[in-house]
Structures are given as C-alpha cells and as structure tokens.
Structure 1
Amino acid sequence: MIDKSPSGLNEWLHFLKNKKFPVRAVNLARLKTQIKRTEDTLDGMQANIASDPLLAFAILNEANRIIPNKNNEIKTPFHAAAMVGMNGIAKLLSHFAPYEPNTQKKPPHLVAFLSEIQTSYEAATIARHWSIEKLTSQEDDIFWITLFRDSARWLLWFYAYPTMAALKQRIQQGEKASQAELNILGCRIDELTVHLCNHWHTPNKVIESFLTKHIPNAKELQALAHLANHPDELPGFTEDKRLTILVNNPLIFSYCANKVAHEASLMRWDSKNLPFFYRVVATVMHKRLSDIIKTAHFASTEAATLFNNGGKIPLAQQLLDPDLYLGKTRSKPKTSLSPIAALKKALKQNKEYDTKQKTGLALKAIKQAIPNAQHSIIFKHSNNKTAPMYQFGYNIDVIKAIQWSAPSSVFKKLSDKRSAIHIFGQKLDNLLKDLPHTSDQIIDANSHLILASTQTSKDETAIFWLETRTEFNEIDYKNLKQIVSLISHNIL
C-alpha cells in the first residue's frame, strides 16, 4: 500500500511495472514442489497453473518474451508452459508475491483484488460462450484474452487500493468512467494496461483488444448497436467494409463481455447501460437480443461454479433476486452524488437559471469538490464592468474596496474567452501587476491562484478566483474546469 498515489501515466508505469504478481501461497508452494520432483511433468502442472490467473499470465508473458509469436496468435498458458519448460518456470518464482486468501479477516485490498479477478473470470466466460455460438473456433484464445486484459486493474486494486476505491465511488455516483480515471489516476486504465503489457511482453492479441484498429470506436459501436434494432435486416449491414471487418474479429466479444461483466458487477444486471453492449453482440452474431442476454446469464452461472474465489458474491446469484427487473419495487442502495454530479443534475432540472443562480450552485460545488480552496470569489462581467457576486474566506470590506473594473490584461483575457490558469510562486509574483488595481493585497507570498472564466449567458461572463495559502493540486484544477464548463452558456 502507498501513502501518496502516483499521478499520470509515467508515474503509474514506474510504480507498477516492477511490482511482483500476487499468487496464492498454496499454489506457489505446490509449484515449487512440482519443479523439484523429477517425476512431475508439465501436463501434471496444468491444473496448478490454471488455478491462479497471475501465475498463468506470467508464464504466458515469459513464453512470448523467449519466442515471440510471429503470427500474433495467443496460446494457452499450458502451451506457454511447454515452451518455457521447467527451468524457465523456476526462474519466474522470484517474480511472485504469495498471499493467503483464507484468513479469517481478509484486508480490504485483498478482498477487492479477489473480487476484480472473479469479475474478470465472469467476463472471460461470457466472451467464450458468445464465441462458441458464433462458431469462431477461437473460444479458448478469447477466454484468456478477456481474462488477462484486466491484469493491470488487478494490480491497481492490490497495490493502490485507496485510489481505486475513490475511483469506484465516483463511477457509482454517476461520473463517466473515463473521466473519473483521468481525474483520479491522471490517465486511462486501458492506456496504462497497454504500456504495461508491452513491458511484460504480453502477447499482441491481448494488447490488440484495446486498440480501435481491431475493436470498434464509440461511433462504430453506436452503428452496430443501432443495427440490432432491425434483426430481420441484419444481412444488409455488410455494405460497410469496416464494420464487416470488426464483426468478424472475435476480439469484439472480449471487449463487450468485459464491459458487461464490469457494469453488472458495479451497477447490477438491470443497469441501463447493459442493453447497448447486448445490441452490439446481437448484431455481430445475427441473433435476437434475448438470445444474447440468455447466453450471458448462462455463462455467469458457469463462472460462479468454476471460478468462485470468495472475493465477492458471484454475478449469477443476482439472477436469483425475484425483484431484479421489477423497477421501483426493488429498493436500491442509495449512493450520494458527487458535488460535480449534483451540480450537473441541478442544472439539467432547470435550464432557465440566470448567471447568479448558476454561479451560486457552482460555488456550492466548489466548496465540496475543492476543499483546498481557502478563499474564493465569483465575478460577473457585463457591459465592460466586473463586480463580485459571491465570495467566501475574505474580509468583505476589503473585497468591496478593490477596484475590480480597473484596467487589467488578465481580467480582459478572462472576459473575452473561456480560460483557465493555475499559477503560484514567481509566475504569480510576475502576474500581480496585471491584476485589477489593489487586488494584490489579498495575495500572500505562499498563495496558489486559480483563475477561470466562461460565458454564462449571451451578454454575461462569470470569472472565478480561487486562492489558497497552501497549494492546489491537479485534481483541484481539473474539478474547477469541469464546474466552469457545466455552467457555460448553451452547454446543456
């Protein structure tokens, strides 16, 4: 565990790329014994290798490192073990960190790690069954590709539990996963996974499952999902050559099954986002939506039997809930919205808010989402005049005495177009002369200042002034930009 999480792709790569792979202590001990006994064969070790995903993953990577697969076809960990041999497997032992899963009270990071692995097994089993029904003859490859594409996520939960817990909370509160990852981690998990897989020498097929050259981008997913609304016309969609290539690539099962399993695990089977991916698969398989859902549910029950490691309640158990699809009759656990999500909801409920009402809501979000802001002022600029509307933390008489409408190159830029800047130290000292006259009296030698602006109506602009005597971090800056964007004119 770490006290201060890395931030950004390079820092996370540096943090994770040399971390040992967590492997069950009993599996590791059994493997060491099997290597020492001359009577044991690789065939006899298969069950042990398959029983621990990171053990299998490491062997697969080692085989690909020693003998790069020119055809880019993923092989099973059993085939990889044969390529590496007993001596090669023995050299990998130092790369593993043993853990005991059967302790009476598991630590939170271990529970989360095991839960994530189980969700990955559920995704892999769903992908395998869809592949079988499409008759791709690649169902085993698809199983392992889908399982291992979550490898970086497993390590994040094991070694950076507090950060991942914060990320999960944001997504459950309604924030888009991609945005939450950027806000919390400073990078996308998919991007991090691709870089780590390259470092680990993971077979190309796993890496390709993240690349839009091999799987649909957002626009193409929409097109495929739309085609499922007309099942009787599906054969006609082959006019688009790009879509034809995509639907004939089994990696689309890996991608969609991963999305389905993670969404169901996070938001339950009745999540409103699941039908979108079901429709994509229905188009790929030329089948009706009900058949796709039935296969996904059946696969989850198989995963519950074969891969239940005690990390969480299996997805299949949710299907026994008699109220699962009955809407209002089932009480869902309530989760409070994040400050930014609450602001977005409030603005959507009433699109007639004026500048003062919008900025009042924005100030409330700032107080909750940016706790580092010790002082804040929100100005309204119109008719070439700038005046404070709201403030907290400062002496009100001092604020009123400052000539905010005095000529200022900084405020002129803020009033002319949407802008944002985070300054401190020497840069802030150099900027003081360009701020409104006498405003430098509320700036301290240790101050950090964030300035941002946006047009809030046809003739009005809001200017945000956030100042602290400690420091603002990158998340504070990103949160303010998101808040400012939400109240922008015609944004909704």
Structure 2
Amino acid sequence: MIDKSPSGLNEWLHFLKNKKFPVKAVSLSRLKTQIARTEDTLDGMQANIASDPLLAFAILNEANRIIPNKNNEIKNPFHAASMVGMSGIGKIFSAFAPYKFYPKNNPPHVTAFLSEIQTSYEAATIARHWSIEKLTSHEDDIFWITLFRDSARWLLWFYAYPTMMDIKNKLSQGEKQSQAELNVLGCRIDELTVHLCSHWNTPSKVIESFSTKFIPNKKELQSLAHLAHHPEELPGFTEDKRLTILINNPLIFSYCATKVAHEADLIGWDSKDLPFFYRVVATIMHRNVGEVIQTAHLASAEAARLFNNGGRPPLAQQLLDPNLYTGKKARDTNSANKTSPIAALKKALGKHDIYDSKQKANMALKTIKQAIPNTQHCILFKQSKSTVSPIFQYGYNINTLKAIKWDAPSNLFNKLSTKKSATHLFGKKLDGILKDLPHTADQIIDSNSHLMLASTQTAEREMIIFWLETRTEFNEKDFSSLKQIVSLISHSPI
C-alpha cells in the first residue's frame, strides 16, 4: 500500500507525462559545450549521446516528432541527431533534469534507476547478438528498440522509487509480474509504456514490441518452446502460418531478451524460468538451446565491457561466480559469510543523511523480512500532521486493510505517535488493548496472534509506526531485532 501515490493508468500517465528525463549533469554539460563549439561535429558527439540512454531517447523522439515518416521511421539516435541538427538538439535541453552522479554514494532512487538502465542495455545487447546469429540485418534497430522499450520503467524507478520497490518485493516473494504491477500501480507497466511512447513521439516499432499482433501471446510462446523441448536436438519446424510470421519478425528477439535480462537481474542466471525463453529463441533461430545460452552469456559480457554506469555490478559478473551452478551446500556456506541484514541496513543508512521517511521505512521493511522471519504480516504507518496512514505492508489482504479506518481515534496509536516505543503483545495482554486499536483493526488479529508494535521519529514532524504480527510466536531475539531496526532509522536510539 503506497500513501498518496497515483493509482491506475490515467493517474500514472498524468504523473509521468510532464516529468523531465533524468540525465547525468556531466553528460548534459558536455553536450552543451559540444554544440557551442563550431569545430565540433555530430559524429564527434555520438559517444556522449550513447553514454546516456535518455539523452539518446529524447533526441530520437524529437526527430520522429518533427520529421514523421511512418514508412521509414528513424530508429537510430545517431541518425536522429543528424536529422534534427545542432540547433534541434539545443531546443530539447528543457526536457532534461540533470542529476549529479556519485560513483560510490548515490541516493537509492538514482542507483535503482541506473541499475534498471543497465539491465535494459544488457537486454538490448543480447537481442542484438541473437539477431546477428539469425542474419536478420536488423541488429542495430533491434538494439535500440529493446533498449528504449524500458523507458517508462526507468522513469518509475527515478520518480516513484518506493512504489517500484514494493513491486520488486512482491516479485521476490514469487508473485507474478502482471499481478504485482496491477496490485501496486493499478495498471501494467507495458500498458503505461505504450501510452507514454505515443505521447513522446517514440518510433512505432518500440510500441509494436508490446503488441500481440507482432509478439506471441502466452499460448504461442508455449508452442514455440515445445518445438525445442529436447535441448540436445535441433528444434522442430512450425507449420502454423501465424507462428511462422512471428518467428520472422525480429521484434520477438526484443521481447525475449528483455525477459531474460530482467529475470537474470531479479533471480540470477540459474532461474528456473530462463530455459523457457531460451527454447523459444532456439526455435526462432533453429539452433541448439546451448548455442542460444552461449550467445546470451557472450552478449552480457560484451555489455559489461561497453556499458557499466555504476548502478549495479554487470550481469556478466554472476557468470564468474564459482557457486552459481554448484549445490546447495556451497551456496549455504557462501550465504553464511554475508553481512547480516541489520548490519547491512546500518551500512546503507550510513552512506547518506538525505533519506526521507518512506525510503527509511522501505529499507526497514526489507530488513524485517530477512532478520525477523517469524513475521507473517507487517504494516508500516507514517504519522504526519496528526494523520496516520499505511505506506507499506505485506502478508495481509489489501482490500481488508483499505477497509480499516486507520485514522480513526485510537488511544494506542496516539501513544505510538507521540514518543519512541516498542512493545511485544500476546495472550491476555493483547486482548486487553484490542479496544484501543483503530476502528475494525481488531479483525486482522487472531486469538493466537503475537503482535509487536514500535514507533520512532524519522524526520522532522514525522513518525513511523511498525506493526508486526504472527499467528505462531515472536521470541526475544525477534523483539531485540525489531528494536535494533527501529533504532537505526531513528534520529536517536530507543
């Protein structure tokens, strides 16, 4: 549950339509200098344009806005730059929001934004290599189409970081992509992207990469994957005319490469879902599945050499992990040497003093999931200007939570909102405070429940209230861990 964020397609469109494209301040400054110098040429500016994908994306959109040509669209930003010229590029500077880049000390939303761009670049490189292997002659176009089809997702990470973290948390818990997006955003990101790209005058090929007219639907993907069901044999041929048309459309590489890169980023190269897309591509290329995987891995290594923007380590680095394809014992040993969740939170909070309450709450929620595994249900509330509202939750039915009047008078929440505190309630002690909860909040408490409540000031005139509940029990270690987490996001320890 996200407090006061847009909900539904129309609200998100309104939210993002007029947002400026985040571009590194150094890239923008360098481009302005290059335009001002008469001796510089567009050819000399290509490296700078390519170094910042949103810079390239804006130039591409501008070219397609002023020179519409539906039969032969401009799909390459370098071609676009030559079409709009130096003066045309200068006119779109108002569309950019420059941000400063700190190699080892970026705010979380900038790091997430850069990480998402890097994943898109890796997907684009994989799609390009598959296209080259198929001898389609469209490899450059496929690279840019694949890269830019994630453009709306980039902006969401930059301007709606807590919302996107909520989606990522749901995905890591096993929820389906479409369901997680609908639950949190009220719409699909792909649907949002199509509308935004139309608004931005993005080439129609990018939009077509989302359409089932050009991309196989779920059933068709399964049919294609089935033709390469035996990894050690060449895939069979399809006799279906519709599938034959789809196989010969290079946009299918864009779709599959995006799925592979995002899955490898979220789960890892050993994700059980990756072989499905490898089999689909094997059928398209009529190659062995092993060759398709090898090409994807080589492409990710190339992407790591060509583009590492500081968001996260490249996906290719996972391929060098000696424990990647080994047994569970090796992984457990490797995990034991990792920093504890609470220590990791302390380290993350130590990097900046500019986190707002929502960012702190989101980081605390992630730590709770790892450090207090007995927690079955959790809600984090923000109290500001005498108003209490949920900002994050997991485990509860979202409709049930929305029906509860959390801002109704409550003696217990009044106490939690006025001073730092932490308490562990169960049995008769829990029964005794049910009447002090907000109206109808007792319906999510079971007779066997253990409830841990805590609160602390996280910003000037803002408090975060923690609600952790389980139908089994919390032990002393759990309570101690909660107090440590709350202390870390506080102005001062409890």
TM-score normalised according to structure 1 size: 0.69
2:168 equivalent to 1:168: yes
Q: Tell me the equivalent position of 1:252.
A: 252
Q: Is the 8 A contact 2:34 2:40 kept in 1?
A: yes
Q: Is the 8 A contact 1:72 1:204 kept in 2?
A: no
The structure-2 alpha-carbon separation of the partners of 1:103 and 1:240, relative to structure 1 and needing over 3 Å to count, comes to: closer
The separation in 2 between residues aligned to 1:233 and 1:174, in whole angstroms, is 32
Q: Tell me the equivalent position of 1:4.
A: 4
Q: Tell me the equivalent position of 1:186.
A: 186
Q: Which runs of 5+ in 1 are unaligned?
A: 344-363, 376-392, 396-443, 451-492
- 1:45-444 matches, within 5 Å, as 45-71=45-71, 73-102=73-102, 104-230=104-230, 234=235, 236-237=237-238, 239-329=239-329, 330-331=331-332, 366=396, 370-371=400-401
Residue aligned with 1:319, SS = helix
Q: Is the 8 A contact 1:74 1:205 kept in 2?
A: no
The structure-2 alpha-carbon separation of the partners of 1:368 and 1:233, relative to structure 1 and needing over 3 Å to count, comes to: closer
Q: Tell me the equivalent position of 1:485.
A: none
The structure-2 alpha-carbon separation of the partners of 1:366 and 1:114, relative to structure 1 and needing over 3 Å to count, comes to: closer
The structure-2 alpha-carbon separation of the partners of 1:325 and 1:74, relative to structure 1 and needing over 3 Å to count, comes to: farther
Q: Tell me the equivalent position of 1:388.
A: none
Q: Is the 8 A contact 1:228 1:282 kept in 2?
A: yes
After TM superposition, give the deviation of residue 45 of structure 1 in Å: 1.1
Cα-to-partner distance string for 1:369-426 (whole Å, 9 max, x where unaligned): 9445659xxxxxxxxxxxxxxxxx999xxxxxxxxxxxxxxxxxxxxxxxxxxxxxxx
Q: Is the 8 A contact 1:74 1:204 kept in 2?
A: no
Cα-to-partner distance string for 1:213-272 (whole Å, 9 max, x where unaligned): 0010000000000001157574531x1000000110101110000000000000011000
The structure-2 alpha-carbon separation of the partners of 1:367 and 1:288, relative to structure 1 and needing over 3 Å to count, comes to: closer
Task: Please identify runs of 4+ aligned residues in structure 1 that moved more than 4 A.
Answer: 230-233, 332-337, 364-375
The separation in 1 between residues aligned to 2:402 and 2:214, in whole angstroms, is 43
The separation in 1 between residues aligned to 2:189 and 2:48, in whole angstroms, is 29
Amino acid aligned to 2:40: D
2:5 equivalent to 1:16: no
After TM superposition, give the deviation of residue 34 of structure 1 in Å: 1.2
The separation in 2 between residues aligned to 1:230 and 1:112, in whole angstroms, is 38
Amino acid aligned to 1:146: T
Amino acid aligned to 1:270: D
Q: Is the 8 A contact 2:282 2:289 kept in 1?
A: yes
The structure-2 alpha-carbon separation of the partners of 1:226 and 1:25, relative to structure 1 and needing over 3 Å to count, comes to: same
Q: Is the 8 A contact 2:63 2:74 kept in 1?
A: no
Bigger CA drift: 164-173 or 32-41? 32-41
The structure-2 alpha-carbon separation of the partners of 1:373 and 1:366, relative to structure 1 and needing over 3 Å to count, comes to: farther
The separation in 1 between residues aligned to 2:126 and 2:397, in whole angstroms, is 44
Q: Which runs of 5+ in 2 are unaligned?
A: 336-340, 342-365, 378-393, 406-429, 433-437, 444-494
Q: Is the 8 A contact 1:281 1:292 kept in 2?
A: yes
The structure-2 alpha-carbon separation of the partners of 1:447 and 1:122, relative to structure 1 and needing over 3 Å to count, comes to: same
The separation in 2 between residues aligned to 1:59 and 1:367, in whole angstroms, is 44
Bigger CA drift: 33-42 or 153-162? 33-42
Amino acid aligned to 1:236: F
Identity %: 74
Q: Is the 8 A contact 1:128 1:139 kept in 2?
A: yes
Amino acid aligned to 2:156: L
Amino acid aligned to 1:173: Q
Q: Tell me the equivalent position of 1:38.
A: 38
Q: Is the 8 A contact 2:131 2:250 kept in 1?
A: yes
Q: Is the 8 A contact 1:56 1:77 kept in 2?
A: yes
The separation in 1 between residues aligned to 2:395 and 2:146, in whole angstroms, is 39
The structure-2 alpha-carbon separation of the partners of 1:189 and 1:11, relative to structure 1 and needing over 3 Å to count, comes to: same
After TM superposition, give the deviation of residue 365 of structure 1 in Å: 5.5
TM-score normalised according to structure 2 size: 0.68
After TM superposition, give the deviation of residue 86 of structure 1 in Å: 1.0
Q: Is the 8 A contact 2:225 2:280 kept in 1?
A: yes
Cα-to-partner distance string for 1:174-205 (whole Å, 9 max, x where unaligned): 10010000000000000000000000000011
Amino acid aligned to 1:205: K
The separation in 1 between residues aligned to 2:57 and 2:396, in whole angstroms, is 44
Q: Tell me the equivalent position of 2:472.
A: none
After TM superposition, give the deviation of residue 327 of structure 1 in Å: 3.8
